[in-house]
Copies of this chain bind each other. A is one copy, B any other.
Amino acid sequence: MSKIKVGIVGGTGYTGVELLRLLARHPDVQLRAITSRSENGVPVSNMFPSLRGVVDLKFSDPASGILEACDAVFFATPHGVAMAQAPALLDKGVKVIDLGADFRLQDTEVFEKWYKLAHSTPDALKQAVYGLSELNREHIKSARLVGNPGCYPTTMQLGFYPLLKNNLVSANALIADCKSGVSGAGRKAEVGTLFCEAGDTFKAYGVSGHRHTPETLEQLTKMTAQKVNLIFTPHLTPMIRGMHSTLYATLLPEAVAMSNDELQKVFESTYVKEPFVDVMPWGSHPETRSVRGSNMLRMALHRNGDVVIVLVVQDNLVKGAAGQAVQNMNIMFGLEETAGLLGVGLVP
C-alpha cells in the first residue's frame, strides 16, 4: 500500500511537535507538509533540534495549496482555525482530524458560550465524529472529520464509562479531581507557565468553570439514561508531561453489594481488547511516568464504602492529544490501530 500523505497545520506548539515525533516514525505515513504562517520557510528542525535528521521539512505557507494534496490533515491549532479551513479540505476529499475544540461539541450554543465564538460551519460539524477511539471506533472508521477529544475528557470518559454504562453509580454526583503537567497549557509565552512560576508549586485553576466540562458532560450523557452532573477540578502540577485524574463515583443502592472483584471484572472486561487501555490490579497506584511518551492510558480501582475511586493516568500530549489523533487516523484509514504508536514509556 502506498503511504498516506499527511499534512499538519500549526506545527509550532507541543501537540504539533508531538505529531511530528510520532508521524516521522510511522511506517505507513509520508509527512508532506507542516504549515505555519509566521515560520514560513524555516526548517522545522531549526525550531526543534530533536528533529534534526528526522524531519527534513520546512514550515510552509498554509495558502500554498500543499494541504489539499494530502490524504489527511491534522489541525494542531487554537479553536477557530480548523473550523475556518476544514471545509475546503473536506471538499477536496482530504480527511481532517482537529486536535483543537472546533469539532468536539455538537451543541453550537454550548460551544459559543464557552469559546466566545460563533460556530462558522455547523454543516461540517454535523458530520464530525467525536474521536474518543475506544468508545467511538465504529463511527471513526467511516469519518471524514474527527474532533479529537480534550486531554482531561479522555481520562474522565474512559474512567467513568464502565460504571455509567453498566448503571453502577449515580451519575448525579461525579467528581473528577484532575492534575495536569504544564505542557497542557501549550507553548505560548505566558508568565503563568514560566519555569519559575509553575515550578516547585501546585495549584488548582479554573475551578469555577473549565471548557472541558461541557465536552465531558455531552459525552457522559450518552453513556447513561441518568441525568449527569460533574464537578471537575483541574490542577497544575510541576511536571512537563502527564495527567492524573482521581475520579469519585457513588455506587447506586442496587450495586453496593458488588464485591471489589466484580467491580474489577467490569473494568477488565470492558477494556480487555483495547491495546491502549491498561486496567491494573485492584488497589494499584498508576504513575504518570509509566506512560511518558506512550499512547497508553492506565487506570486502577479503589473503594471506600460506597464510593468507587478510579485513578487514571495518561500522557496528555500522546493519548491526551497527538497519539490519540494518530490512533484515529489509523482507524480512519484501515491501518493497524497501533501503527506508529508502540513507543514504550520513558522511565526514568
A contacts, CB < 8 Å to B: 14, 17, 21, 24-25, 48-54, 175, 177, 179, 181-183, 187-191, 193-205, 207-208, 229, 231, 233, 235, 237-242, 244, 246, 248, 278, 280, 283-294, 296, 298, 302, 304-305, 307, 309, 311, 313, 317, 342-348
Contacts and interface: CB of A to CB of B under 8 A. Distances in A.
Contacts of A348: 14, 17, 183, 187, 196-197, 199, 240-241, 317
A54 B278 CA distance: 12
Contacts of A292: 50, 200-201, 346
Contacts of A21: 344, 346-347
Contacts of A187: 191, 194, 196-197, 348
Given A17-B347, A189-B190, A208-B302, A231 B49 contact: no
A54 B344 contact: yes
A16 to B, nearest CB: 11
B50 A203 contact: no
Interface centre among A187, A240, A280, A291, by most B CB within 10 Å?
A240
Contacts of A285: 203-205, 207
Interface centre among A175, A207, A248, by most B CB within 10 Å?
A207
A177 B287 CA distance: 16
A320 to B, nearest CB: 14
Contacts of A197: 187, 195, 348
Contacts of A298: 49, 52
Contacts of A198: 195
8 contacts: A49-B287, A175-B307, A182-B194, A189-B189, A201-B289, A204-B311, A207-B311, A240-B348
Contacts of A202: 179, 181, 237, 239, 242, 244, 287-288, 313
B177 A246 contact: yes
A344 B24 CA distance: 9
Interface centre among A187, A204, A283, by most B CB within 10 Å?
A204
Contact of A309 (B233, B244, B311): B233
A246 B235 contact: yes
A207 B53 CA distance: 25
A292 to B, nearest CB: 7
A291 B298 CA distance: 26
Given A189-B189, A278-B53, A304 B231 contact: yes
A25 B345 CA distance: 12
Contacts of A343: 25, 343
Interface centre among A48, A54, A175, A200, by most B CB within 10 Å?
A200
B195 A238 contact: yes
A183 to B, nearest CB: 5
Contact of A208 (B182, B196, B283): B283
Nearest to A342: B25
Given A199-B200, A201-B288, A238-B239, 16 more contacts: A25-B342, A49-B298, A50-B294, A52-B278, A179-B202, A182-B194, A190-B194, A194-B195, A195-B195, A202-B242, A203-B287, A204-B246, A204-B285, A231-B304, A235-B244, A241-B348
Contact of A201 (B53, B284, B287): B287
